[in-house]
Structure 1
Amino acid sequence: MDAEPATTGPAGLIARLRARLAGGSSEASLTRRLAGTIFIIRVISAGLAYISQVLLARWMGTSDYGIYVYVWTWVLLLGSMLDFGISASAQKIIPEYRTRAEHALLRGFLSGSRWLTFAASALVSLGLAGIVRLASPWLDPAEVLPLYIGCMTLPAFVVANTQDGIARSHDWMQLGLMPQFIIRQALIIGITACAFLLGYHIGAVAAMVASAGAVWIAMTGQMVVLNRKLADHIEPGPKAYDVGGWLAVSLPILLVESFYLLLSYTDVLVLQQFRPSDEVGVYFAVVKTLALVSFIHYAMSATTAHRFAEYNASGDKARLSAYVTHAINWTFWPSLAATIVLLAFGKPLLWLFGPQFTVGYDIMFVAAIGLVVRSAIGPVERLLNMLGQQKICALAYALAFVMNVVLCIALVPRYGGHGAAAATSISLSFETVLLFWIVRRRLGLHVLAFGKSTN
C-alpha cells in the first residue's frame, strides 16, 4: 500500500480514504476505494450543503426559504431528467464501445452526447419559461422570478450531469462529482455570503441567482478539465455518431431515472401544494439531515454501474454475481449504521437550521424507514439497467411513484410532513419488494443483504 498522503483539505481526506480502502488489486478493493471516494465527496458536500442551507434558512426566513426549496427542487428534478438518461447510459455505452474496440463511436459519444443534451435542455428551458409566463396569473408572485432563474439554470445542470456520467465511466470520480457537489456548494455559500455582507437582501431571488451562477461556473470548469483528460486518454481520430443507438439505450433508462426522481421529490412538491411554505422548509431540513444515508447508496450505484455492464458484456457471470453481493453488503450495513447515528443526533442537527426546525425531529424516524429498507437490496436498479432490464425496472418505479402520489395526496393535507414521510417510506418499501422479485425472476440473483447471490 502506498504511503498515506500528507496533504490536507478535501483532496487530502479523499486520498487518505482511498489509501486505506485499497486492500489489493481486486475489483472488490477497487470498488471500495472508488465508493469511498464518492462517499467522502458526498459527505463533504453534505457539510457544505448544510452550511449553505442553514445560512439561507436563517437569512431568508422560513417563507422565502420554502419558496427557494420549492424552485430548487424543480431544478434538481428536471435537470436530472433532461439529459434523456445519457448520464446513466454512458456507464453502459462507454464500456461496451471500449470492449468492442469501437473507437470512432466512442469518440463521437464523448463529444456528441454533451452537445445533444445541451441543445435539448436549452430548448426545453425556453418552453418552460413560456409556461411560467402563461401561468404567472395563477402563481404566487414571489415564485415567478425564481422560476425564471431556475429555467436559466437547467442547461448547465444537464451538461454537468452528462459530464459526470462520462467521468465516472473512466473511474474519474473526483472529476465527475466534485464540481457538482463540492465546488458548486462552496460557490453558493461564497456568493450569498458576499451579498449578505454587502447589505443585499437575501430572498428567494438572490438565492436562486447565486445557485444559477454556481451551477454554470462549476460546469464550465468541469468541461475544461474533462476535455483535457479525454485528450490524453483517447487517441485522436474520426468520430461516428449513433444518436439513434444512444437514445435506444438511454430512453428506457430515462424512464427508470425519471420515476425514481419523481418518487424522490413528490413529497416536497405535494407538500408545497397543500401546506404553508414554512412547513416545506422544515421538511426539507429533515430530508437534508437524512441525506447521508442516501449518499451511501449513491456511492455504490455510481461506482458499480459501468462494471455491471463490463462483466455482463464479457460474459463473466460468476464475477458479476460475486460483485453484486459485494455491492449490496457495502450498501446496507453502512446505511444502517449511518441511520442510527443520524437519528441519535437528529434534534441538534435540525436546530442548526433554527430553533423552529426541531419540530421536524419526529418526521426523521418515519422517513428513515424507507431509506433503510431500500438499502437492503443495494444498487439493483443499476444492475437491471446495465443488463438490459430497463423496461421492467421502469415499471417498478412507475408503480412506486403512483403509490407515492396517491399516498401523499391522501396523507399530506391532514398530517403534513409526517404524512409525506410516511407516504415515501411505504412507497420505497413497495419498490424494494418489487425490485427484489424482478431480479430474482429475471436474473436468478438473491439480492438481499441477508442472503447470498446465486446464479
Structure 2
Amino acid sequence: MAVTDARNAPASTGLAARLKARLAAFGGSGEASLTRRLAGTIFLIRVLSAGLAYLSQILLARWMGGSDYGTYVYVWTWVLLLGSMLDFGIASSAQKIIPDYRTSGEQALLRGFLSGGRWLTLATSSIAALLLAGLIALLSPWIDAGERLPLYIGCLTLPAFVVANTQDGIARSHDWMTLGLMPQFIIRQTLIIGFTAGAFVLGFGLGATAAMAASAAAVWIAMLGQMLVLNRRLGRHIEAGPKQYDLRGWLAISLPILLVESFYLLLSYTDVLVLQQFRSSEEVGIYFAVVKTLALVSFIHYAMSATTAHRFAEYHALGDKARLSAYVAHAIKWTFWPSLAATLVLLALGKPLLFLFGAQFTAGYDIMFIAAIGLVVRSAIGPVERLLNMLGQQRACASAYAAAFAMNLVLCIVLVPRFGGHGAAAATSLSLAFETVLLFRIVKQRLGLHVLAFGKAS
C-alpha cells in the first residue's frame, strides 16, 4: 500500500497543482483575475438572459404564429436600434468620463454627471419618442395596419430603454456588473415571459400589439427598479456635496462615441430591417431565430467589452502603456478562444435548438454556418472598438464602422431579394470581416498595438 501511495503521489500532486493554477486564474487578486471574474459574471448573466430570451422567443413564436411574430420582431428591432442610439453616447462615455473624474479627483463634476447624465438621456429620448410617434401618424397610410399600434407602443418604450442603458454604463463604471445587467437582461426577460404567458393563459389574443405592450411594461418596471437601487448605492459610495454640470464636455466625448455605435448598430440590424422589406414576416422570424441561437457568441465579446472599457480609459489616463498593452492582449485572448468554442457547440446543436421554435424554423439551420463566420472573425481582435473609443480614436473607429455599414447595406440590397436569409447572413459576415481588417490596421497604425488573438507583433 505504501508503494502504491508513493507512486500515486506525484500524479495527484501534479493534478492538484494544475487545478489550483486554473482556479487561481479566476480567484487571484490581480487585474487580469478581476477582469476574468467580472467578465465571467457578465457572461453568466448574458447566458442566463439568452436562455430566458430564447424561451420567450420560442413561446412567442408558437403562441403568436409566424406573421405576428415577424411583425413583433420587426418593431422590437427598431426599439433595440433606436434605444441604443438615443442616449447620444452617454451610456458608453460614462465608462470614460467617470474614471477620468475619479482619477483627477473632480468630485463635483462626478456628482453632476451621475445625476445630470440620466436626466439628459431621459429628456432627449422622450422628445425623440414624441417626434417618432408623429412621424408614424404622418406615414400611417403607407404603414401596414397591423404594424401601426405596435410601433406606437415601441415609441412609448424608448425613454425607459435609453435610461436603463445609461444606468447600465454608470453601474459598470463602478464594477457593479450585476446591478448594471440584471435589470435589463434577467428581470426584463422574466417579466416579458410572465406577462405574455398570463395573457395567453387568460385567453387574450396574443398578437404583435399585446406582445409589444408586455415588452414595454417590462422595460419600464425593470428600469425604475434599477434606478432605485443604483441611487441608493451611489449615495453610499459617493460623498455628498455640490454638483457641476459640464454638458459641453460630456457631449464632446459622447457624440463621437455615438457616431461609432450608430454605425455599429446599423451594421448589426441592417440584415433584419432589409429582410423585412423584401421577404415575408415568416422568413424574418426564421432568420431572427438563427440570430438568437448564435447570440451566445456575441455575449462573450460583449462581456469582455463591458468589463474592460473603463480600465482602458483608466490606464490611458495614468499613462501606463505597458500595463495597457498587456491588458489589451489579455482581453483579446479571452474573447477569441471562448467565442470559437461556443460557435462550434452551437453549430453542432443548431438544428434541435431551432426546432424548439417550431418545425419550420429548422429551415434556417444552414444560415447559421454563414452567419457564424463573421462572428468568429470579429472575435479575433477582441473589444478593440472600446479601446479606440476610450483612447480618443472615436473618429477613426467610426470611419471603419461606416465603411462596414455601407458595405453591408449594399450587399443586403443586392443579395436579400434573391437569396433571402442566406443573402442577409452572407452580407453581414462579409461586412464584419471587412470591419475587422480595418480596425486591426487602425489600432496597429495609430496605437502601435498588435490586436490579433494569434501571432506576434512584428
Asked whether the two chains share a fold, i.e. TM above 0.5, the reply is: yes
Whether the aligned pair in 2 keeps the contact of 1:38 and 1:177 (CA below 8 Å) is: yes
State the match for 1:10 in structure 2.
none
Per-residue CA deviation, residues 204-223 of structure 1 (Å, 9 max, x unaligned), is: 00000000000000000000
Alpha-carbon shift at residue 436 of structure 1 (Å): 0.1
In the aligned structure 1, how far is the partner of 2:393 from the partner of 2:29?
Answer: 30
State the match for 1:434 in structure 2.
438
State the match for 1:125 in structure 2.
129
Select which of 368, 391, 397 maps to 1:393.
397
1:330 aligns with 2:334: yes
In the aligned structure 1, how far is the partner of 2:177 from the partner of 2:378?
Answer: 24
1:255 aligns with 2:259: yes
Query: Is the partner of 1:237 in helix, strand or coil?
Result: coil
Per-residue CA deviation, residues 203-248 of structure 1 (Å, 9 max, x unaligned), is: 0000000000000000000000000000000000000000000000
1:422 aligns with 2:422: no
Q: 1:105 to 1:276 in 2, by over 3 A?
A: same
Q: 1:20 to 1:72 in 2, by over 3 A?
A: farther
State the match for 1:45 in structure 2.
49
1:269 aligns with 2:287: no
State the match for 2:248 in structure 1.
244
In the aligned structure 1, how far is the partner of 2:364 from the partner of 2:239?
Answer: 54
Q: 1:452 to 1:97 in 2, by over 3 A?
A: farther
The aligned amino acid for 1:284 is F
Whether the aligned pair in 2 keeps the contact of 1:311 and 1:320 (CA below 8 Å) is: yes
State the match for 1:3 in structure 2.
none
In the aligned structure 1, how far is the partner of 2:377 from the partner of 2:268?
Answer: 15
In the aligned structure 2, how far is the partner of 1:125 from the partner of 1:305?
Answer: 29
Query: Is the partner of 1:241 in helix, strand or coil?
Result: coil
Spell out the pairing of 1:198-237 with structure 2 (5 A cutoff). Answer: 198-237=202-241
Whether the aligned pair in 2 keeps the contact of 1:321 and 1:453 (CA below 8 Å) is: no
In the aligned structure 1, how far is the partner of 2:163 from the partner of 2:144?
Answer: 30
Spell out the pairing of 1:183-198 with structure 2 (5 A cutoff). Answer: 183-198=187-202
Select which of 62, 68, 74 maps to 1:64.
68
1:450 aligns with 2:450: no
In the aligned structure 2, how far is the partner of 1:443 from the partner of 1:105?
Answer: 29
In the aligned structure 2, how far is the partner of 1:118 from the partner of 1:137?
Answer: 30
Spell out the pairing of 1:153-192 with structure 2 (5 A cutoff). Answer: 153-192=157-196
State the match for 1:14 in structure 2.
none
Alpha-carbon shift at residue 21 of structure 1 (Å): 5.7
In the aligned structure 2, how far is the partner of 1:20 from the partner of 1:357?
Answer: 43
Whether the aligned pair in 2 keeps the contact of 1:62 and 1:278 (CA below 8 Å) is: yes
In the aligned structure 1, how far is the partner of 2:264 from the partner of 2:150?
Answer: 25
Per-residue CA deviation, residues 142-192 of structure 1 (Å, 9 max, x unaligned), is: 000000000000000000000000000000000000000000000000000
Per-residue CA deviation, residues 92-129 of structure 1 (Å, 9 max, x unaligned), is: 00000000000000000000000000000000000000
Alpha-carbon shift at residue 451 of structure 1 (Å): 2.6
Alpha-carbon shift at residue 279 of structure 1 (Å): 0.2
1:384 aligns with 2:388: yes
Alpha-carbon shift at residue 23 of structure 1 (Å): 2.9
Spell out the pairing of 1:396-411 with structure 2 (5 A cutoff). Answer: 396-411=400-415
Spell out the pairing of 1:133-144 with structure 2 (5 A cutoff). Answer: 133-144=137-148
Select which of 347, 354, 363 maps to 2:367.
363
Deviating beyond 2 angstroms after TM superposition, the runs of 4 or more aligned structure 1 residues are 19-23, 451-454
In the aligned structure 2, how far is the partner of 1:422 from the partner of 1:452?
Answer: 30
Whether the aligned pair in 2 keeps the contact of 1:396 and 1:431 (CA below 8 Å) is: yes
Scaled by the length of structure 1, the TM-score of the pair is 0.95
In the aligned structure 2, how far is the partner of 1:88 from the partner of 1:20?
Answer: 31
In the aligned structure 1, how far is the partner of 2:44 from the partner of 2:24?
Answer: 13
Select which of 84, 100, 105 maps to 1:101.
105
In the aligned structure 2, how far is the partner of 1:326 from the partner of 1:193?
Answer: 43
State the match for 2:317 in structure 1.
313
Larger Rg: 2
Consecutive unaligned residues in structure 1, runs of 5 or more: 1-18
In the aligned structure 1, how far is the partner of 2:339 from the partner of 2:218?
Answer: 30
Select which of 23, 29, 54 maps to 1:25.
29
Alpha-carbon shift at residue 22 of structure 1 (Å): 2.8
Select which of 332, 342, 345 maps to 1:341.
345
Alpha-carbon shift at residue 24 of structure 1 (Å): 1.0
Per-residue CA deviation, residues 382-437 of structure 1 (Å, 9 max, x unaligned), is: 00000000000000000000000000000000000000000000000000000000
Query: Is the partner of 1:22 in helix, strand or coil?
Result: helix
Whether the aligned pair in 2 keeps the contact of 1:325 and 1:453 (CA below 8 Å) is: no
In the aligned structure 2, how far is the partner of 1:100 from the partner of 1:162?
Answer: 22
Per-residue CA deviation, residues 56-75 of structure 1 (Å, 9 max, x unaligned), is: 00000010000000000000
Scaled by the length of structure 2, the TM-score of the pair is 0.95
Alpha-carbon shift at residue 20 of structure 1 (Å): 7.6
Which one is further off, 20-29 or 112-121? 20-29
Whether the aligned pair in 2 keeps the contact of 1:39 and 1:299 (CA below 8 Å) is: yes
Query: Is the partner of 1:451 in helix, strand or coil?
Result: coil
Aligned residues: 437
Per-residue CA deviation, residues 300-355 of structure 1 (Å, 9 max, x unaligned), is: 00000000000000000000000000000000000000000000000000000000
Select which of 329, 344, 351 maps to 2:355.
351
State the match for 2:284 in structure 1.
280
In the aligned structure 1, how far is the partner of 2:248 from the partner of 2:209?
Answer: 40
1:73 aligns with 2:73: no
